[in-house]
Amino acid sequence: MADAGRGIPSSARFEYDFAYLDAMADAIGVRDLRAVSCRYPVNYDAADEACWPPFLLDLIPSGAARRHWEGQLGVPNKDSSDWEVLRSGATNPPGNVRVASAESPQADHPGFPRSAILDRADTFIEYAYASGAPVSGSSGAGGDSPKFLLREDHAGQWHADGALADTKTKESWLVKFPRTRDQVDRLVLEAEAGYLDVARHLGVNTYRALSWERDCLFVPRFDRAVVAGSVRRFGMESLCSLAGVAEFGLPIPKATLADALARCSTNRAADLREFLLRDVLDVALGNTDNHARNTSVLKREDGSIRLAPLYDFAPMIFDPRGVARVCRWEDRADFPEWSGVADTLDRFGLAAEDSRRFLRELAAPIAQLPQTMRACHVPQQVVERCRPRIERVAKDLEAVKP
């Protein structure tokens, strides 16, 4: 960093360590999980940037987690603190990229039973924060929701993510609590489990079901897997990073994100089609918190780079702060003109004719969403609030011309 005191806006140079490059001699040029970012393929070149490499913003704590680390470090909530928060606070972020200085020591701790999480036991909360478990991972309205990266051991005890050895890990989780005691916050979080089931019903890649219990949402992590007693970490990178945006909360056009996805995906047409499907569902079901860090790609050992399973999909139209769609198509409307969206995607490799046919075929399942939502145990209050949106989107899809 040329001037770390300026934080993320400071100029920087990125290059791979030569020892790593020598070890990766057969992987020069790859962009998969062996690269820190799809924007920085494994090679011997140095990249001079006007600001931090965008992938670092996927690692640095934000929201409540950032404020926690600023308090721990005794630094102000300013750009000048970015470097210290990254060096100390990026303890164990999603994906497979790590900050060496932030590595948290493993502790010989007995862990906590699931009941301690459900009861919000003070000892558990204090332990989780002290062990670097809190994460916000979001720069939008959800950024301040209490979230904890946890691991479950083979005895059913729960630990902070970085505090338990891989060999003792049975499962890795993200656990969310409502942001406040307000009933609306509880409703939004409760609906998230059902929303994921609805998306799965319509063909979206959703990984495994979520578990809602006593105001806690248990989310199984898809960026890693336990195989033969070892934890395998997959690469994970947000579309914000793919698009080269090193700034939080910026309203990035959907076309820019689609372009970035198309450039990196190893199955461009399939991922663009799902990108389109997810946006139709966002509009119909009121998931207005659609900022570019709420969608990512997953990079696996086989070299594939594909859209990651859906996450942070909830009825954010209920949020009392009035969360608006941040990322929109070129028409800038709350309800997109879908034929125009099809024309836009044609530029990136998904034929407009195929998109239009796909959109028209979606009209019937979208119109049936109220019934699907009830079958997936989405709260009735949410179903009724979304009904006018669903009807509007279904009619718009029926009207898409060949």
In terms of domains, do 221 and 240 share one? no
Q: Is the pLDDT of residue 89 over 50?
A: yes
Number of domains comprising the chain:
2
Whether 6 maps to a domain, the answer reads no
Question: Which amino acid is it at 318?
Answer: F
C-alpha–C-alpha distance, residues 104 and 90, integer Å: 9
Whether 394 maps to a domain, the answer reads yes
Question: For residue 6, what pLDDT is reported?
Answer: 86
350: left (phi over 0), alpha (psi -120 to 50) or beta: beta
pLDDT tens digit string along 48-63? 999 999 999 999 988 7
C-alpha distances out from residue 102 to 92, 116, 142, 257, Å: 8, 27, 24, 30
In terms of domains, do 159 and 196 share one? yes
In terms of domains, do 294 and 358 share one? yes
Question: For residue 192, what pLDDT is reported?
Answer: 97
Cβ atoms 86, 56 nearer than 8 A: yes
Q: Is the pLDDT of residue 107 over 80?
A: no
C-alpha distances out from residue 397 to 365, 385, 391, Å: 11, 20, 10
Instruction: Tell me which range, 2-6, 89-93, 98-102, 258-262, is most confidently predicted by mean pLDDT.
Output: 258-262
Tell me the whole-structure pTM to 2 decimals: 0.93
Token pair belonging to 120: 């919000």
In terms of domains, do 259 and 163 share one? no
In terms of domains, do 187 and 245 share one? no
Question: For residue 135, what pLDDT is reported?
Answer: 62
Measure CA 298 to chain center.
10
Which residues, 6 or more positions from 357, have their beta carbon under 8 angstroms from its beta carbon? 402
Mean pLDDT of the chain: 91
Which class for 357: exposed (0-12), middle (13-18), buried (19 or more C-beta within 10 A)?
Answer: middle
C-alpha–C-alpha distance, residues 59 and 57, integer Å: 5
More confident residue, 61 or 372: 372
pLDDT tens digit string along 159-213? 988 888 999 999 999 999 888 888 999 999 999 999 999 999 999 999 999 999 9
In terms of domains, do 258 and 192 share one? no
Question: For residue 385, what pLDDT is reported?
Answer: 97
Token pair belonging to 12: 């920087």
Instruction: Among 198, 230, 262, identify where a domain stops.
Output: 230
Question: For residue 312, what pLDDT is reported?
Answer: 94
Whether 24 maps to a domain, the answer reads no
Q: Which residue has the tokens 């997936």?
A: 376
Of the pLDDT bands very low, low, confident and very high (cuts 50, 70, 90), residue 396 is very high
Whether 42 maps to a domain, the answer reads no
Question: For residue 141, what pLDDT is reported?
Answer: 28
Using CA atoms in the order 112, 114, 116, 120, what is the torsion angle rounded to 10 degrees? Answer: 130
Question: For residue 393, what pLDDT is reported?
Answer: 98
Q: Is the pLDDT of residue 238 over 60?
A: yes
Domain range for 290: 236-398
Cβ atoms 152, 210 nearer than 8 A: no
In DSSP terms, 231 is beta-bridged to: 226
What does the chain come to in residues? Answer: 402
In terms of domains, do 131 and 272 share one? no
CATH number of the domain where residue 305 is located: 1.10.1070
Question: For residue 134, what pLDDT is reported?
Answer: 67
Token pair belonging to 291: 């900022």
C-alpha distances out from residue 19 to 22, 24, 39, 43, 44, Å: 5, 9, 20, 12, 11
C-alpha distances out from residue 123 to 113, 128, 129, 248, 251, Å: 12, 9, 10, 33, 39
Q: What is the mean pLDDT of residues 303-327?
A: 91
In terms of domains, do 187 and 113 share one? yes
Cβ atoms 297, 310 nearer than 8 A: no
Whether 21 maps to a domain, the answer reads no
Q: Is the pLDDT of residue 9 over 90?
A: yes
pLDDT tens digit string along 123-149? 887 777 777 676 643 333 234 567 888
Cβ atoms 298, 307 nearer than 8 A: yes
Question: For residue 322, what pLDDT is reported?
Answer: 73
Whether 113 maps to a domain, the answer reads yes
C-alpha–C-alpha distance, residues 270 and 21, integer Å: 32
Whether 376 maps to a domain, the answer reads yes
